[in-house]
Amino acid sequence: MEYDLIAESYRRRPWEIVSKVLSGETTWFADLGSGPGQHSRHLATLNEALRGVLIDVSAEMIHRALKETPENLSHRLYPVLADMRELPMRSDSVDSLLLIASLHHVVPRADRLRTLRECRRVLRGGGLLLVVVWARWQKPLVLEVLKDSLSYVLRRKESFWDITRCSRVACRTYHLYSVKELVKELETAGFRVVEKGVYVPGEVRKPLNKNYYCLAIKT
């Protein structure tokens, strides 16, 4: 699996935006597509009462999350090997959910909607979901889409905005979002969007670090 191949080299600081899912009622959260767990560890340090489930489809990512979780947090963070399209969790069991730079790897659209409906199932009523995805309108990405436009014309891919990017280690698939499309998918899955915008993590501006985010509530 491509995510196993990049697990050891994967480096990313926690994004401050993840704190948006916290409220006075948040006790349990789940981090879907958690990778090595940097966002979950960050949340756990903000509130010592929090408990979190880290879900990832990559065994190597889960292994790294276990290895990098300090002993003082290990009793509150629980990495689980699973597919976020079919969550191994009870309905109405968590207060908040994170989908940070993970939903845009789910192709086709039917699987993204399946993932979002699973999110709605496991969230309690009034629970918050934070989704962060790659922004569509970034010049290097748009150029890649245009180069691969023949695949869309020949129906080799479902969406014009699906791309595959390869490094020296692995290739990964992305769906590039507009804010409007992200809102529509969340509403189709039964959420109400309460906040949306652009998020650029960190102080250093890189060519590819513009993201769209939505904070949604289960009604």
The CA distance from 207 to 214, in Å, is 22
Residue 6 has a CB neighbour count (10 Å cut-off) of 18
Query: pLDDT for 122-164, tens place per residue?
Result: 999 999 999 999 999 898 888 888 888 877 777 778 889 999 8
The CA distance from 25 to 144, in Å, is 43
Count CA atoms within 13 Å of residue 202 on its CB side: 11
Contact criterion met (CB below 8 Å) for 37 and 31: yes
Query: What does 69-124 look like in DSSP terms, one character per residue?
Result: S-HHHHTTEEEEE--TTS-SS-TT-EEEEEEES-GGG--SHHHHHHHHHHHHHHEE
Q: Do the bridges between strand 211-218 and strand 123-134 make them parallel or antiparallel, or are there none, so unpaired?
A: antiparallel
User: What dihedral angle (degrees, nearest 10) is formed by the CA atoms of 78, 81, 87, 92?
Assistant: -10
Q: What is the mean pLDDT of the chain?
A: 93
Topology annotation, domain 2-142+174-218 = Rossmann fold (3.40.50)
Contact criterion met (CB below 8 Å) for 118 and 209: no
Query: pLDDT for 169-207, tens place per residue?
Result: 889 999 999 999 999 999 999 999 999 999 998 755 676
Strands annotated E in the chain: 28-32, 51-56, 77-81, 94-100, 123-134, 162-166, 171-175, 191-199, 211-218
- What are the extents of the domains in the chain? 2-142+174-218
Please say if the pLDDT value at position 24 is more than 70.
Answer: yes
Contact criterion met (CB below 8 Å) for 213 and 17: yes
